[in-house]
Every structure is written in C-alpha cells, then in structure tokens.
Amino acid sequence: MPNTDTAGPGPGDRAPVRTATPRRLLMCRPSHFDVHYSINPWMHPEKPVDAGLALAQWTRLRDLYRELGHTVEEIDPLPGLPDMVFAANGATVIDGKVLGARFRHAERTAEGPAYLSWFRAQGFTELLWPEHINEGEGDYLLAGRRLLAGTGFRTDPRSHAEAQEFFGVPVTGLTLVDPEFYHLDTALAVLSDDEVMYYPEAFTPGSRAVLRELFPDAVLATAEDAAVFGLNAFSDGRHVLLPESATHLTGELRRRGFEPIGVDLTELLKAGGSVKCCTLELRGR
C-alpha cells in the first residue's frame, strides 16, 4: 500500500500511516512556578527562574494541544505549590477511574488532595485516595491496556498492586536506577498502544530485559536525547510533542511515520520537567 501520509517518510519507505486520536488533557498554569527547593538533581534553587518565560512556554504547549484537536482543561494553580504545573503527577485516570497521587516529598504532598478535589468537582465518582506513595502519571504510563509502572525513586512498589486492583489492568513494574531519571516519564514514553521509546540505561538490567521482551522494536534513546528530557514526550498516536533539542529521537520518530513536534520548555526543565510532566491524560470509559 502506498504511503499517502504527507508527513511520513518518502516513497519506498514502509513506515505505517499514523492516526491521531483526540485526547482530553488536564494542565495547570505555572502561575506560582519557581525552584525554591530541590527534590531532584535538575533543581538548583540558586539559579533564577524566568516566570514570564515559563508561562509563555507552557502556554505555547497548551495552545499546540488545542490546535491539534485535543481538549485541554485547566486546574487552578495554588500558591505555595511551585511544582503543581506538573499535572502528570496529580493522578492516574483510566476508564474514568481516578487514582489519587500521594507524593514522596513533603513539599508536594498538598498537591494530591488538590487534584483529587478537582476530579470530584468535575463529576468523577470513582476516586481512590491511595494507601501507598505514587506520583500519578509520572510513574504510571498506559500502553494499550497494560499499565507500565515505575519505581526506584518516587512511587512505592506496593502502589503497583494497589493500581492493578483498582483499575483491573495488568501492571508491569519497571525499576529506575539513575536519579536524573527519577520518574518513569523521564525515561520512557508511550507512542501508540504497542510502541514505546525509552532510555535503557535508566533501568535495572531486569527491567531492561522486560522492556526488550514487551517492546522488541522500541525506539531507543541516546544519552543525549535523555539528557535534554527527550523522553518526556506526549503522543496522540501520530503527533509526538517532545523537547525540541532531542534531535536523534525526532529523526527516529519521523522514520517510523510519526510527526514529531519540537517544543521549548527549558524554563520548566529547571524543575526537572517538560512536555509530559505538564500533561495529565483524562481517559474516560
């Protein structure tokens, strides 16, 4: 079958035609964004943050989602919670069920209940306040009907069983080893129901073997890709929004028929976050 996708690779190349599906997303405007504590190696409170630039970069990402046909809802940012912009950490939502987030660090604990009350106010009825620490979609990434679950730095491995019981989908635990890649979404991104890209060095040997077994054709990131947070990406099945400096990944994605869109979120990277961290997917039934 000829490849009629104009954004795809040239003639003769057999990359699949990619189809985007519209998503419902939750974001939190970085009105109170700052770096005045350090809970990951990217955060240097002595380095100044340009609040105006952070807001402009974030706004561009939000508008881009809307231009691509996605629905973006916003939760009101709360003063005193500078990391609340990282909406991915606020919960995990599958089939309309909401697993609340329970943060590892005291600096962020108030975000969990804040996000959960947003869901309650929006009419979500199946909500679980978790027993174990989990940082939402920072460590929980859905690939098809399998929930990939990070641990090692933030999410407690006991949360994986709690998530499996609550959502009723198989949960696959993956252990992170490099403090620079402290959440699963800094080391792995889901591209489609059965495709991912990841940085092997961020995982234990056992978890790497699991990833190889589940995703033998995965896009593997280089150290350079990972260092610019290239894996902190969002895919709608066709468009992949990722940090613009992840040039090797961008080429790889294009070769496979995806349409990579580079985004500049360097101001938010000062807190250790980028595209995916700013984005929580609200999956209905």
Catalytic residues: 183, 277
Residue placing its CB nearer to ligand ARG in the complex, 136 or 260: 136
**At its nearest, how many Å lie between ligand ARG and the CB of residue 259?**
23
Instruction: Summarize as ranges the residues that interact with ligand ARG (CB under 6 A).
Output: 39-40, 43, 83, 86, 88-89, 108, 138, 183, 185-186, 271-273, 277
Q: How far apart are CA 253 and CA 49, in angstroms?
A: 31
Residue placing its CB nearer to ligand ARG in the complex, 88 or 211: 88
Compute how many other C-beta atoms are within 10 angstroms of the C-beta atom of residue 231: 28
Q: How far apart are CA 91 and CA 111, in angstroms?
A: 10
DSSP characters over 154-165: SS-HHHHHHHHH
**At its nearest, how many Å lie between ligand ARG and the CB of residue 122?**
21
Residue placing its CB nearer to ligand ARG in the complex, 89 or 207: 89
**At its nearest, how many Å lie between ligand ARG and the CB of residue 50?**
17
DSSP state of 234: E
**At its nearest, how many Å lie between ligand ARG and the CB of residue 249?**
17
Residue placing its CB nearer to ligand ARG in the complex, 68 or 81: 81
Sheet with 188-192, side-by-side order of all strands: 188-192, 195-198, 219-220
Q: What are phi and psi of 20, to 5 degrees?
A: -85, 140
Q: What residues contact residue 9 under an 8 Å CB cut-off, 6+ apart?
A: 3, 15, 254, 255, 257
